[in-house]
Chains A and B, each alone.
Chain A
Amino acid sequence: MNKELLLRYISGDATGEEKAEVAKWLDADAGNMHEFMALRKLHDITVWQYEPQKEQNKKVNFRIGKLSRRKVITEVLKVAAVFILAFILFKHFDNAGSEYASTQTLYVPSGQRALLTLPDSSKVWLNANTTFTFPNHFSPESREVTLEGEGYFDVAHNVSHPFVVKTGGYNVKVLGTEFNVLAYPGNPEFEVSVLDGLVEVIESKGEKGKLIKPGQKIVIEKNQFQVASIEHTAYFLWKDGIISFDDEAFTEMVRKLELYFDLKINVKNDKILTYRCTGKFRTKDGVEHILKVLQLSNRFEYTIDDKLNIITIE
């Protein structure tokens, strides 16, 4: 008799056939019955004798007092950052004057997002730690912008003026459509997801192109093209300030939290790295809120160093 089945039988999860099999086995030999009785009693004892640890909840409650102050400061900083960005942009535009084809560069720091309306009324949502360069006026032939980081584009339809997003290794060419481009310079992965319309991804040094249809995404890593269907559409809610994890690896989640909240996260326990996370969060609820919700389904504890802006998870 395999032990797993016996244990499953005891906890009450065996099927009818398995139960019959267990009964047959139990009556076959007195030793079997003996073994079963021991495990059976062990089950009852452990179920009744276990006291769950309560320390974890205490720690969380303790920190709430601090949280509100942190939150206020973060909110103030966010508003301030937007004003500063707006001011810099305004200055840029002002200085640029009527200079034709001069470009603007917008940098969105970690922990921030931005929404930009381009001269042709296309909209671009820029994610944290992203640099975006665009001309004051689009040239008559084409509309070209440069992206380092992540952007969600809602491009105004114009058949005679293709819209091109240039990134490090690839260009994304469209006529009018909605799509998301993920191209952080340090990241080996380049990804374009298409929500509406047709998109062509072209190597920046070559002519080789690939057409991506709505509902599809292309992932390029080390020159390997891979087209797949988009399964996790909630991901794109990042542009509305919603972070969505769908069976996300813990390491990947940590990377995103660091990016979205501009902080450093150290994971001290390798076991935690094997966790997977699912859930949707509002960025404005803060990183502590996310960690607390994740604690409900995954066992870990965290401490926050406000001065250094470091979260340690163990």
Chain B
Amino acid sequence: MATSFNTVYLTFYKKSFLFVKSYVHDDMVAEDIVAESLVKIWEKMKQEEIDPVGPLLFTILKNAALDHLKHETVKQNVHTNIGNYLNRELEIRISTLQSCDPGEVFSSEIAQIIQDTLSSLPRKTRQIFEMSRFEGKPYREIAENMGITVKGIDYHIALAVSKLRVALKDYLPLWIWFFFGL
């Protein structure tokens, strides 16, 4: 077989972790889910050829994260006001994850737009955005690395995000109907 587990791990670990963490909001849980999912997809790859790997891995991660979130609901304290909001917040996370479709995320058109937009950004902005979004570094660490303040990092990230938003405007607000159906 051409690819080794090591290659799969190196290519997908970081992405998987950042993706899962953004839904489960817990580093340790995210690590567990990613580790299990990577083993799972590796087992599948031994049986049949899987190409591309991304979308299938995405679905495996999504299902594992959903399982986790659905269990979380029960544990939360519903008696306090903040508890109510937290339950609602969890609900929102579950529905966004449910509606999250690999077909939209893995479109090659989008990949091109992202590349183009990133290369049009000022170098510093792009670098900070990549450190945060793709390397998952905390703001404080990036600020230290770049020798600027955390507020400065906020600014560069917000700039990159708004540029990407404009560039991807045709692809983004697709899920809106879902929330009014709730």
Residues of A within 8 A of B (CB): 3-4, 7, 10-14, 16-17, 19-24, 26-27, 30, 33-34, 37-50, 52, 247, 249, 271, 274-276, 297-299
Report the stretch among B21-29, B39-47, B66-74 that lies at the interface.
B21-29
Across the interface, which residues of A come within 8 angstroms of B179, CB to CB?
Answer: 30, 33, 37
Give the shortest distance, in Å, between A308 (CB) and chain B (any CB). Answer: 27
Across the interface, which residues of A come within 8 angstroms of B164, CB to CB?
Answer: 42, 46
The answer to whether A40 touches B180 (Cβ under 8 A) is: no
Across the interface, which residues of B come within 8 angstroms of A24, CB to CB?
Answer: 85
The answer to whether B145 touches A298 (Cβ under 8 A) is: yes
The answer to whether B110 touches A299 (Cβ under 8 A) is: no
Q: Which of B50-69 contact A (CB under 8 A)?
A: 54, 58
Give the shortest distance, in Å, between A130 (CB) and chain B (any CB). Answer: 30
Which 8 residue pairs of A and B lie closest in terms of their CB atoms, listed nearest first? A20-B85, A274-B147, A23-B89, A38-B172, A12-B21, A12-B25, A4-B154, A23-B85
- Contacting A276 at CB < 8 Å: which of B15, B105, B144? B144
The answer to whether the Cβ of B176 comes within 8 Å of any Cβ in the partner chain is yes
The answer to whether A19 touches B89 (Cβ under 8 A) is: yes
The answer to whether A16 touches B82 (Cβ under 8 A) is: yes
The answer to whether B176 touches A20 (Cβ under 8 A) is: no
Q: A43-B22, A44-B19, A45-B105 are in contact. Are A17 and B82 (CB under 8 A)?
A: yes
Nearest A residue to B174, CB-CB: A41
Across the interface, which residues of B come within 8 angstroms of A27, CB to CB?
Answer: 88
The answer to whether the Cβ of B78 comes within 8 Å of any Cβ in the partner chain is no
Q: Which of B129-159 contact A (CB under 8 A)?
A: 130, 132-134, 138, 144-148, 154, 157-158
- Contacting A20 at CB < 8 Å: which of B24, B86, B161, B168? B86
Bound Cα distance A47, B57 (Å): 14
The answer to whether B105 touches A49 (Cβ under 8 A) is: yes
- Contacting A12 at CB < 8 Å: which of B22, B58, B82, B89? B22
Across the interface, which residues of B come within 8 angstroms of A271, CB to CB?
Answer: 123-124, 127
The answer to whether B88 touches A12 (Cβ under 8 A) is: no
Across the interface, which residues of A come within 8 angstroms of B111, CB to CB?
Answer: 49
The answer to whether B145 touches A46 (Cβ under 8 A) is: no
Across the interface, which residues of A come within 8 angstroms of B22, CB to CB?
Answer: 10-12, 43-44, 47
Q: A10-B22, A14-B25, A23-B92 are in contact. Are A37 and B58 (CB under 8 A)?
A: no
Bound Cα distance A279, B88 (Å): 46
Give the shortest distance, in Å, between A38 (CB) and chain B (any CB). Answer: 4
Give the shortest distance, in Å, between A86 (CB) and chain B (any CB). Answer: 43
The answer to whether the Cβ of B104 comes within 8 Å of any Cβ in the partner chain is yes
Give the shortest distance, in Å, between A293 (CB) and chain B (any CB). Answer: 14
Across the interface, which residues of A come within 8 angstroms of B58, CB to CB?
Answer: 48
The answer to whether the Cβ of B175 comes within 8 Å of any Cβ in the partner chain is yes
Bound Cα distance A165, B111 (Å): 65
The answer to whether the Cβ of B106 comes within 8 Å of any Cβ in the partner chain is yes
The answer to whether the Cβ of B18 comes within 8 Å of any Cβ in the partner chain is yes
Give the shortest distance, in Å, between B2 (CB) and chain A (any CB). Answer: 17
Across the interface, which residues of B come within 8 angstroms of A52, CB to CB?
Answer: 134
The answer to whether B114 touches A46 (Cβ under 8 A) is: yes
Across the interface, which residues of A come within 8 angstroms of B173, CB to CB?
Answer: 34, 37-38
Across the interface, which residues of B come within 8 angstroms of A12, CB to CB?
Answer: 21-26, 30
Q: A4-B158, A16-B82, A42-B172 are in contact. Are A275 and B146 (CB under 8 A)?
A: yes
Across the interface, which residues of A come within 8 angstroms of B92, CB to CB?
Answer: 23, 26
7 contacting pairs across A/B (C-beta < 8 A): A19-B85, A20-B89, A34-B176, A45-B104, A247-B144, A274-B146, A275-B146
Bound Cα distance A42, B118 (Å): 13
Across the interface, which residues of A come within 8 angstroms of B88, CB to CB?
Answer: 23, 27
Nearest B residue to A270, CB-CB: B124
Q: A24-B85, A52-B134 are in contact. Are A7 and B161 (CB under 8 A)?
A: yes
Across the interface, which residues of B come within 8 angstroms of A13, CB to CB?
Answer: 25, 138
Name the residue among B25, B123, B165 with the largest chain A CB count within 10 angstroms. B25
Bound Cα distance A26, B19 (Å): 21
